Amino acid sequence: MRSLTVTLFRGVILGTVLVLLTAGSVLYLSVNAQLVRQMDESLTDKARMLALSVEEKHYGLEVDLDEMRTEEMEGSESPEYIYIGSLDGSVIHHSDILEGIPAPGFQAPLAEPLHDWHIIKGAGRMRSVLVTFQPEVDDEKEDLESAATDSRIIVDKTAEPGDRIVIQLFKDVSQHQRFMEIFLFMLLGAGLGSIGVLTLTIWLTIKRGAEPINELAASIDSISDDDLAIRLDEVVVLEELAPIVHKFNLFLDRLEKSFNREKGFTSDAAHELRTPLAGLKSTIEVALARKREGDDYRETLESALSIVNQLENLVKSLLALARLESGQESASMSEVRIEKCIRDVWGSYSGVATERGIETSFNFINGSVVMIDSALFAQVLDELFRNALYYVDQGGLVTVNLLQKEGNTHLQVGNTGSKISAEEAERVFDRFWRGSHARGDTGLRFGLGLPIVRKIVDTMGMRMDVKSEMDGEFVVILTIGEGK
C-alpha cells in the first residue's frame, strides 16, 4: 500500500532537486558566460592596443617588440601569447610557444574581432581574439640600419602600402578554469546543504499536514454499525478534506437508511409471516380438537392450503424483491409494440372485471413502439392491473391510457375508489405498507407489489410516479421513454 506522506515527500523533494539543479546550472553557465565575455573584451582591447606597436615605414613594416614584451608574461598566472602575420598567412612574428600552430589566412579583412578556444600543446586550453588592422604610416625618414636595434624587428615589405595585418592574442585560461571549478564546488555544497535542510523541513511539514487525515481516519474507525447516526464535523477539518467528509456523511445517511430499512424489512416480514402461520396453526388445532367427518377434514385442509398459498406468494414476493435490490435482475431491452403487450396481459383480467361489474376505459396510441424488456414489463403490467382491480370500488372504473407527451411515451393505469390521500401516495412504494384501510386484508395483499414494480421499472431505466385523491382516483404513471 502506498503512503500519501511518502508520495508527497518524494514528489516535493524531486521537484526541489530539479529546481535547484536547474537554478544552479543556469547560475553556473551565466557566471561562466559573463567571465568569458569580460575576458573577450579585455583581449580585444589589448589586441587593438598592441596593434599600435606595428607601423608602416618607408622601408618596410616595423614591429616594436619592447612594447609587446608584456604579452609574454610567462611567469604570471594567466600568460598571454601573440601572433602577427599577413592576410595570406605569412608569419611576421609569434611567441615561441605558438611554434607549429597553423597561421590563420583570410581572403578579406574581418569586420569584427573573432574569438575562439584552442588547445595548445604544452600550454593547455586558451582563449584567443583575432583582429585585422591597417598599420599606421610613419612618414619620418629614418635609416634602416639605425632602426635595426635589439628592441625592434624589421621586415622588408614587398606588398603594396595599405595592406592589412593580422594580430591574434592568446590567453591561458587555467586560472579561469580553477575559479569555475571552485565556484562549481561551492554551488554543489550549497545545493546539498539546501537539499538537506529542505528535506527535513518538508518532511516535518508533510507529517504535520497529514495529522488531520490520521485524525479523520480515527474518527471514521470509531463509527460502528450500532451508532450510524454519528456524523463527522465538516467545520473543524481542513478545507481540502471538507468535500470528503461531506461525501462520507452522505454515505452514512444512505447506509443508515439502508440498515434501518433492512431492520424494518426483517420486522415486517416476520409480522407478515406470523399472521398466516398463526391462522394455519389455529386451523389445524381446531381440526384436531375432536373427531370430525371426512367432509369437515376436507374443508379444513382446503383452508390450510389457502393459507399455504398465501405464504408461498409472500415468499415469492420477498425473493423477487431481494433479487431486484441485489442487482441480480438485468434488463434485456428490445423494440416492442407496447399496445399489443398491454392487451395480452389485460386478457387475463378482463373476465374478472366483467364478473365484478367494473367498467374499463382504454386509450391507446396505435402502433407505438418502445425499447423495453418485454418479460419484465409484463410483470409490471400484471401487478398494476391486479392492484387496480383489487382496490377499485364496486362498479367503479379502471382506466388504461397510453399517451405521447414531450417526446416520451407515458402509460397511466388508474382506478376509482381510492382510500389513499395525496400525502400518503408516495408511501405505496414502501415495503409492507398498505394503508389503514387495508389492515383487515392481511394475508390477501402484502404491500410488496408496487415496491417490486418500482424496482423493475428502475432496472429498465424508466420512471414511476403516483397520484391519489381520497375517495377519488388512484393513478400510477410510467414514463417509458421515446416512442416510435
Does the pLDDT of residue 325 top 70, yes or no?
no
The reply to whether 316 and 357 lie within a common domain is no
- Identify the CATH number of the domain in which residue 270 sits: 1.10.287.130
Tell me, yes or no, whether 309 and 359 share the same domain.
no
Give CA–CA dist 465/476, Å, rounded. 6
pLDDT bucket at 364, cuts 50 / 70 / 90: confident
Domain that holds residue 440: 334-481
Q: Is the residue at 182 inside a domain?
A: no
Query: In sequence order, what DSSP letters do the residues of 251-309 get, joined into one string?
Result: HHHHHHHHHHHHHHHHHHHHHHHHHHHHHHHHHHHHHHSS---HHHHHHHHHHHHHHHH
What is the residue whose three cell numbers read 421499472? 457
Q: Does 234 reside within a domain? A: no
Report the alpha-carbon distance of residue 431 to residue 450 in Å, rounded.
8
340 and 473: one domain? yes
Same domain, 320 and 348: no
Res 70 pLDDT > 50: no
The domain boundary residue, chosen from 325, 358, 393: 325
Q: Is the pLDDT of residue 71 over 70?
A: no
Q: Which of 325, 343, 369 is the last residue of a domain?
A: 325
The verdict on residue 27 lying in a domain is no
Q: What is the pLDDT of residues 448-481, one digit of tens each?
A: 677 777 888 888 888 889 899 888 899 999 888 7
113 pLDDT tier (thresholds 50, 70, 90): very high
Same domain? For 144 and 84 the reply is: yes
Task: Flag whether 7 is in a domain.
Answer: no
Q: Give residue 215's pLDDT.
A: 78
Task: Tell me how far apart the alpha carbons of residues 92 and 52 are, in angstroms, rounded to a whole number.
Answer: 15
Pairing label, strands 136-137, 54-57: parallel
The CATH number of residue 457's host domain is: 3.30.565.10
Residue 150 pLDDT class (50, 70, 90 cuts): very low
Q: Structurally, how many domains does the chain consist of? A: 3
Over residues 393-451, the pLDDT tens digits come to 988 999 999 888 877 889 999 999 888 888 877 778 776 666 655 544 544 555 667 77
Task: Please give the Cα distance from 95 to 83 (Å, whole number).
Answer: 7
Grid coordinates representing 144 are 634602416
Whether residue 471 sits in one domain with residue 388: yes
| 320/353 same-domain check | no
- Which range, of 17-26, 130-139, 443-452, averages the lowest pLDDT? 443-452
- 369 with 453, same domain: the answer is yes
Same domain, 316 and 341: no
Q: Is residue 96 part of a domain?
A: yes
Residue 342 lies in a domain: yes
Quote the pLDDT of residue 443: 47
